[in-house]
Amino acid sequence: MGIDIHPAVNSGPPLIPRELSAGLGSPGSGLAKPERSETGVWIGIFAIVMSFAAFTSAMIVRQGVTPDWRHFALPPILYVNTLTLLVSSITLAWANRQLASVGPQLLGARDRARQSYSDGMNWLYGTLALGVLFVVGQVLAWRSLVSQGLFLSTNPSSSFFYVFTGMHGLHVLGGIAGLVYMICKLARTNGTARTTGLRAMSVYWHFMDGLWIYLLVLLMVRT
């Protein structure tokens, strides 16, 4: 591609070669200061918060508008799932700690780097397993509801239960996809890939955790 800048009438040449301008926060400069992936995840979190706020307000309005709300007991497995998800956040935090220390140590202490890499990866696999376990547990919760005769359309309380758990589950599946992507990336590069993506993914994962606690409390109080 021809690179040909014609400066306009009075625009001087304050263009600086890209190699010298690393860190200006542009794509390609490996030292970009603000991490795009993390910024992106935080912005995404704002949108998700807004969506669940909309669902919540819909629930409150719907419950208030007609006296047809039927309360039911939450399936106990939800509490096991909650614990699973909480633990997965802890394992992910440990994985982060191990993997973040891989890069800098490569030159000096190779063995220790290799050790933290394999530890970190194991924690990541553990997180993945717990994440999958959570989704499976949520499906079991649905089945438990179905066995009580509570379907999507049975009552607004069950409708909202399915909507909330379903939407949250979809978002967790997104997190699992991100986790798998990061695991593949790290495995390909033996842990030397930049861990910013992993950090961003972790923010999202912890947020899913917090969101679930909120939803659980909401469902406990409302349904």
Partner 1 sequence: MHDVSATQVTDEHKAPTGFIRKYVFSLDHKVIGKQYFGLALVAVFVGMVLSWLLRIHLAYPTWPIPLLGKFSAAGAPGGVMTPEYYLSLLTMHGTLMVFFVLTNAPFAAFGNYFLPIQIGAEDMAFPRFNMMSFWTTFAAFVVMMASFFVADGPPISGWTAYAPLSAVGGDAGPGLAMGQNLWAISIALFCVASLLGALNFIATTLDLRTKGMSLARMPYSTWAWFVTSVIALLAFAVLLPACILLILDRVGGTSFFIPAGLILSDKLQPHSGGSPLLWQHLFWFFGHPEVYIAILPSIGIIATILPVFVRKPLLGPRALIGSMVAIAFLSYMVWGHHMFVSGMNPFSANLFSVPTLIITIPATILTLLLTASIYGGRMRFDTPALFCLGFISVFISGGISGFYLAQPSLDTYLHATYFVVAHFHFVMAVASLFGVFAGTYFWFPKMFGRMMNETLGKVHFWLTFLGVYCVFMPMHYLGLVGNVRRYSAFVDDYLAPLIPVHKFITIAALLTGAAQLIFFWNLIWSRFRGPVASVNPWQATSLEWSTTSPPPFDNFGAHHPVVQNGPNEYGVEAPDGTDYVMQMAPREGV
Binding-site string for partner 1 from residue 140 to residue 169, where x marks contact by CB under 8 A and - marks none? ------------xx--x--x---x---x--
Binding to partner 1 in span 62-81, by CB under 8 A: 62, 65-66, 68
Whether the CB-CB separation of 216 and 137 falls below 8 Å is answered with no
191 binds partner 1 (CB under 8 A): no
* Smallest distance from partner 1 to CB 59, Å: 9
Tell me the C-alpha distance between 63 and 51, whole Å: 18
Nearer to partner 1, 46 or 221 (CB): 46
The C-alpha angle 18, 20, 22, rounded to 5 degrees, equals 75
Tell me the C-alpha distance between 8 and 69, whole Å: 69
Q: Which residues of 36-68 are buried (b: 16+ CB within 10 A; e: fewer)?
A: ebbeebeebbeebeeebeebbeebeeebeeeee
Binding-site string for partner 1 from residue 36 to residue 55, where x marks contact by CB under 8 A and - marks none? x--xx--xx-xxx-xxxxxx
Nearer to partner 1, 45 or 90 (CB): 45
Structure tokens at 69: 């709300």
Residues that bind partner 1 (CB under 8 A): 1-12, 14-22, 24-32, 34-36, 39-40, 43-44, 46-48, 50-55, 57-58, 61-62, 65-66, 68, 152-153, 156, 159, 163, 167
